[in-house]
C-alpha cells in the first residue's frame, strides 16, 4: 500500500496538543472523541498510513488520569443500527468497546443513553451493562436543541439529564459512531459540573473534516460520504473567519451548536475561551499528510465505495432516495463517477463478455484480475482464487482444488443444510484450498498469498452474501457490489 500519512508524527503532535489543552482548564476536561477511538478504519482508508488504533495508542500515555464514557443514541438501539465496517449493531459495539478498553487497561466508568423520550429504553441493554458493573445514565430529548439556548441551559433542558459521576481529570467521551450525542453529553456535563462547583472544560478531538485543508478536498468529501445518513455538510467556519480572518473547515452540526457552547462557557467563566468551532478542536491530522495525491486517490475510492453501500441500503429499503442523492452530490463535487473505480469497469466488462455475474480485483500494481460465476464458484470466490493464482505466479489453467472435492461440499450444502445455492462461498473455497495445500504445492503457494490482499480494491456485479462480505473484510479487501432488487 502506498503511504500518504505520517502516523508517528501524528502521534507526537496530537498528544502534545491534548496535553496543552488539558493544562488550559482547572479541575476536569471533557474531551469529545469523534470518529472511532479504538479502530478508526475510515481514517486508515482515506489517510493511508494512519493506524486504526492511533488514538488509543496516544491516549495510553494519559491512562492513569483518564476515564472513558461511552455514548449511544436510544434510537440507534431501537432501530438496531449497524456499524457497517464490522457488521454489528451499535449496542453490540458498545459492549465490544468496553471489553477492548478494559483489556487495554482503561477505566470505563459509564454508558450514557441519549435522546430518551421515555423511561423504558432498551432495558435488556441496560441490564447487560449493569451485569458488567458499568453505570448507566439517561439523557433526554430537549425541545429546541440546539438553537433555543435559554431553554437548553435550564432545569427543563440540560437540568433534566442525569448527572454523570466522574472521578478523573480527563474524561474521554466517545461512541460507536456519529450522531450518538457526544457533544450534547459533554455540554450537559459542563452545566451540571458548574452546579456542583466543579470547574470543567471541553475540547473536541474530531479527525474529520480536517480543518486546515480545502473544503472540497477529497479527504473532507469522503467524510461527507461517510455521514450521508446524518446529512452532515462540510462548511467554512463563519465564526473563525469573523474572529481571525482565517478560512477553516468545520461541519454543520458543530457550527450550529457553537452558540450553545459559547453561552455555557460565558455563564461558567464569564468569558468563553473559544471564539469558533475550530478553536474547540485539537486535530493535528492535516499537518501529517505527506503525500496529498495518495490520500486524495484513496479518498476518491472511499467516496465511490460509500455510494455503492448507500445504493445497497436503498434497495434493501434501509434508507431513502435522499441519501442516495446525497452520495451522488458528493461524487459530483469530487469530480468522479462510479466508473472512476477501475475494478468496477473491469467487472462490468467481464460480465458483458461472459453473460454471467462477474467481478474484478485491482492489485497494488494496478493489475486487474477478473473472474466469473461458474457451476462451482460464485463471482467472489472466482476472483479471489484467480488473484491468489496471479500473485503466486501459477498458470491459470492449473487446478489448485480437485473438481472431485467440490461435489461432497455441494451435496452437504444442498441436501443436508437446505441451501438453494450449490456454488461455494469464499470461506468454503478457502477451506478446500487449505486441505488441498497439504498435498498440492501450488495450493500452498496460493494460500500463502492471502496476506498480500490487504488494501486491494474489488467489485462484483451482483449481491454478495454476508459470509463473503465477512471473508473479504477479514482479508482487508475493500469490496463494492451491485445489489439486486429482490
Residue 381 included in any domain: yes
Q: How far apart are CA 403 and CA 292, in angstroms?
A: 48
Residue 333 included in any domain: no
Closest CA to 360 of 339, 380, 389, 377: 380
Q: How far apart are CA 60 and CA 64, in angstroms?
A: 8
Q: Taking the CA atoms of the chain, what radius of gyration do you get in angstroms? A: 25
Residue 40 included in any domain: yes
C-alpha atoms less than 13 angstroms from C-alpha of 217 in its C-beta half-sphere: 23
User: Dmax of the chain from CA atoms?
Assistant: 80
For residue 365, what are the domain limits?
Answer: 341-481
pLDDT at residue 206 in the model: 85
27 and 164 share one domain: yes
Q: How far apart are CA 155 and CA 43, in angstroms?
A: 39
* CA 36 centroid distance within chain: 6
Q: How many domains does the chain have?
A: 2
250 and 352 share one domain: no
Reported as a single tens digit per residue, the pLDDT across 8-45 is 999 999 888 888 888 888 778 999 987 777 778 899 99
pLDDT at residue 177 in the model: 84
Write out the three cell numbers for 29: 476536561
Return the residue matching grid coordinates 461517510.
226
198 and 56 share one domain: yes
Find the CATH number of the domain harbouring 64: 3.10.630.10
Q: How far apart are CA 293 and CA 387, in angstroms?
A: 26
Residue 435 included in any domain: yes
Write out the three cell numbers for 238: 463563519
Reported as a single tens digit per residue, the pLDDT across 423-436 is 889 999 999 999 89
Reported as a single tens digit per residue, the pLDDT across 153-172 is 899 999 999 999 999 999 99
- Cβ 110 vs Cβ 116: under 8 Å: no
275 and 363 share one domain: no
CB atoms closer than 10 angstroms to residue 451: 10
Return the residue matching grid coordinates 467481478.
359
Amino acid at each position: 500500500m502506498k503511504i500518504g500519512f505520517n502516523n508517528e508524527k501524528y502521534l507526537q503532535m496530537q498528544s502534545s496538543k491534548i496535553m496543552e489543552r488539558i493544562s488550559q482548564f482547572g479541575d476536569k476536561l471533557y474531551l469529545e472523541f469523534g470518529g472511532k477511538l479504538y479502530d478508526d478504519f475510515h481514517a486508515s482508508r482515506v489517510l493511508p498510513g494512519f493506524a486504526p488504533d492511533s488514538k488509543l495508542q496516544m491516549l495510553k500515555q494519559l491512562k492513569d488520569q483518564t476515564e472513558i464514557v461511552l455514548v449511544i443514541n436510544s434510537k440507534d438501539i431501537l432501530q438496531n443500527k449497524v456499524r457497517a465496517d464490522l457488521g454489528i449493531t451499535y449496542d453490540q459495539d458498545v459492549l465490544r468497546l468496553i471489553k477492548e478498553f478494559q483489556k487495554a487497561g482503561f477505566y470505563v466508568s459509564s454508558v450514557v443513553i441519549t435522546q430518551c423520550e421515555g423511561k423504558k429504553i432498551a432495558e435488556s441493554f441496560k441490564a447487560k451493562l449493569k451485569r458488567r458493573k458499568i453505570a448507566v445514565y439517561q439523557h433526554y430529548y430537549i425541545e429546541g436543541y440546539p438553537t433555543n439556548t435559554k431553554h437548553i441551559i435550564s432545569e427543563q433542558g440540560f437540568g433534566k439529564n442525569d448527572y454523570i459521576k466522574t472521578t478523573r481529570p480527563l474524561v474521554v467521551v466517545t461512541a460507536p459512531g456519529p450522531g450518538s450525542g457526544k457533544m450534547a453529553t459533554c455540554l450537559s456535563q459542563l452545566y451540571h459540573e458548574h452546579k456542583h462547583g466543579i470547574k470543567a472544560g471541553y475540547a473536541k478531538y474530531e479527525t474529520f473534516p480536517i480543518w486546515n485543508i480545502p473544503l472540497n478536498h477529497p479527504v473532507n468529501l469522503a467524510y461527507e460520504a461517510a455521514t450521508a445518513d446524518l446529512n452532515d455538510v462540510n462548511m467554512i467556519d463563519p465564526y473563525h473567519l469573523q474572529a481571525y480572518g482565517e478560512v477553516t473547515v468545520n461541519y454543520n452540526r458543530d457550527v450550529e451548536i457553537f452558540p450553545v457552547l459559547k453561552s455555557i462557557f460565558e455563564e461558567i467563566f464569564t468569558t468563553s475561551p473559544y471564539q469558533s468551532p475550530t478553536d474547540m478542536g485539537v486535530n493535528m491530522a492535516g499537518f501529517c499528510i505527506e503525500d496529498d495525491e495518495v490520500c486524495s486517490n484513496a479518498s476518491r475510492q472511499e467516496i465511490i465505495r460509500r455510494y455503492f453501500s448507500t445504493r445497497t441500503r436503498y434497495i434493501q429499503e434501509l434508507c431513502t432516495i435522499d441519501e442516495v442523492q446525497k452520495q451522488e452530490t458528493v461524487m459530483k463535487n469530487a469530480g468522479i463517477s462510479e466508473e472512476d473505480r477501475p475494478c468496477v469497469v473491469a467487472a462490468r466488462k467481464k460480465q458483458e463478455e461472459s453473460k454471467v455475474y462477474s467481478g474484478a480485483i485491482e492489485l497494488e500494481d494496478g493489475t486487474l484480475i477478473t473472474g466469473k460465476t461458474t457451476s462451482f464458484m460464485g463471482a467472489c470466490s472466482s476472483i479471489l482464487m484467480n488473484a491468489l493464482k496471479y500473485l503466486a505466479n501459477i498458470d491459470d489453467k492449473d487446478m489448485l482444488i480437485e473438481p472431485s472435492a467440490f461435489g461432497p461440499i455441494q451435496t452437504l450444502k444442498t441436501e443436508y443444510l437446505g441451501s438453494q445455492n450449490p456454488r461455494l462461498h469464499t470461506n468454503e473455497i478457502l477451506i478446500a484450498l487449505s486441505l488441498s495445500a497439504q498435498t498440492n504445492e501450488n495450493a500452498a503457494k496460493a494460500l500463502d498469498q492471502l496476506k498480500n490482499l490487504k488494501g486491494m480494491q474489488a467489485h462484483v456485479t451482483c449481491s454478495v452474501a454476508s459470509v463473503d462480505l465477512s471473508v473479504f473484510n477479514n482479508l482487508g479487501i475493500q469490496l463494492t457490489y451491485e445489489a439486486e432488487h429482490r
